Amino acid sequence: MQFAPLQRVVCSCLLIFCLVGCTTPFARSTSTSVTSKPDHSAAEQSTDTSAAKGDPLTNASTSDATFEDKLHLRDAHLQMLDTSTGFAWGYVGHTFKLYKTTDGCLTWQTIASPAIPPYDVSLQGPGNTGYTNADFIGTANGYLGALAFMRADGVHVLTTTETDGSHSNHVWHTVVIPSPGDATHIGQICFTTPKYGWMLLLGDGASGAAPKYLYRTTNGGMTWQEVNSSTAALPHNGVDVDMTFSQDGVHGILTTVNPLTLSPVMEETSDGGRHWQTVLGSLTGMHLTDSITDVTPFTPTLENGMEHAEFFVESPDGNKLLMIAKEMKGGLITHTLSVSNVQALTWSESAATVVLRKDARDIVMHSDDDGQDWTTVGNIPNSLADNTTTVQNFQMFGQVGWLLLQNDTLTPTLLKTTDGGAHWTTV
C-alpha cells in the first residue's frame, strides 16, 4: 500500500473538552463575514424513485459479492458511525453516488440527493473543481449528512438529517456560498454535531503553497461565515491540510507540512477557528535526523482531553512516526516509532492502530497508551494489499475495523477485521 493524497474527508464526532495554549502562544484572528444564500436551482429531492424509497441494491445480498461488485464505485470513500451503520460514496461513470449500510457493509441502500453536476474523476482526479466532498455524523436518533462541491457561482453545500431511522424522505437543504476568486477546490468539510460544521477551501497548490479559507456554520449548514484565511491566521505554505474539531464547536486542530522547510505544522484554536496558536512549527528539539527527505501528516484527533497529531518523517538515516500529544492541562508529549513505511493510522479513544509496510508485508500494530508502547497484532496478506494500492479510509471501533483501499484505476477494495487487526477479510 501507499499513501493516499490527503483529500479528506472525515471529521469524527468527538468528546467535549478544554485546551490550553502553548507557553508562548501566537494568537491570530480574522473577522471576515460571508452570508450564504439558499440555492433554488437544484431539486430538493431526487427523481429516482427507488433511491427515494431507499431500496436495497439488487445484488447487495449476494453472499460472495465484494464491495466493488455491489457498488461499482470509483474513488470510493467509507465513513462508519459505529460497527453497523455507515456511508459510502464515490463515482459511477461521471455520476456521484451515495449509499448507506446498517449491517456492517454487508448490504447497501441508495440515498437520493439533489442534482449534482457530473464529474469525471478518472480523468480529472479527486479533489479538483466540481468534485463532491462528503461528511456524516451520528445523532441521538439518526444522522446528519453533508455534501459540498464548487461551481462557477460558488460553493454548494447540501445537508440532510435523518431522525426516524427510515431510508425515505431525504430532504436536502442547499445553500450557495460565494467563493474567493483564488479558491479552486474544497479541501475538507466536517461536522461534529447537527449544529457545528467547518469547511476549508484551498487554492492552487502547485508551488507548495495554497490560499486557504475556513468557514463555519452554527446552524447545521443553513448559513456559513468565513472565520479565517491564510491572509490572516492560517498557514499559507502547505497543501496537504487536515483539521478536526470538538463537539462543543470551540476547540480544533489543523495540521499541514511546510514544503520549504519540510517541517510539520500543528495549530490549535479555542474559539471555533477565529484565533489560532502555533503548537508545532518545526522539528527543532525532536531528536530527529537533519537529512529529512519528506514529511506526511495524518488526520489529527481530539479525544479524552488530548490533542493528537502524527507525521511520517522519511530520512536516509531511518524513517520515524512522529507522534505529538498535548495534554488538556500540560505541554507537549512527543514519541517516535522507528518504522519502514507507514500506510495508515487511526485512533479509537486512547488506542492507536497503525499499518506499516515492511519487507513487502503490511503489518498491523496497536498501542493502548497513547502511542508510547506498541504490539504487533497481525498482518494483511499481499493477496489483499500490495504496493499498487493506496489507503482511502481507516477506522477502528474496538476490535472491529475497516480499511478501504484503491488501486491506480481508483477501483476500491474493502477489508474488515473483527479481532483488532490480527486477521482481515474482503467485504
Give the residue with greater pLDDT, 189 vs 141. 189
In this structure, what C-alpha cell is assigned to residue 233? 491566521
Q: How confident is the model at residue 29 (pLDDT cuts 50, 70, 90)?
A: very low
Q: How confident is the model at residue 1 (pLDDT cuts 50, 70, 90)?
A: low
Q: Look at phi and psi of residue 352 and say left if phi exceeds 0, alpha if psi is from -120 to 50, else beta.
A: beta
Instruction: Report the alpha-carbon distance of residue 92 to residue 9 in Å, rounded.
Output: 19
pLDDT value of residue 384: 78
Q: What is the pTM of this model?
A: 0.85
User: pLDDT tens, 309-355?
Assistant: 999 999 998 899 999 988 766 678 888 888 888 999 999 877 899 99
- Kindly tell me the burial class for residue 181, based on how many C-beta atoms sit within 10 Å of its own C-beta (0-12, 13-18, 19 or more): exposed
User: pLDDT tens, 41-65?
Assistant: 443 333 343 343 445 554 444 457 9
pLDDT at residue 34 is higher than 60: no
Give the residue with greater pLDDT, 219 vs 164. 219
Beta bridge partners of 327: 306
Mean pLDDT highest for which of 94-103, 166-175, 203-212, 240-249?
94-103
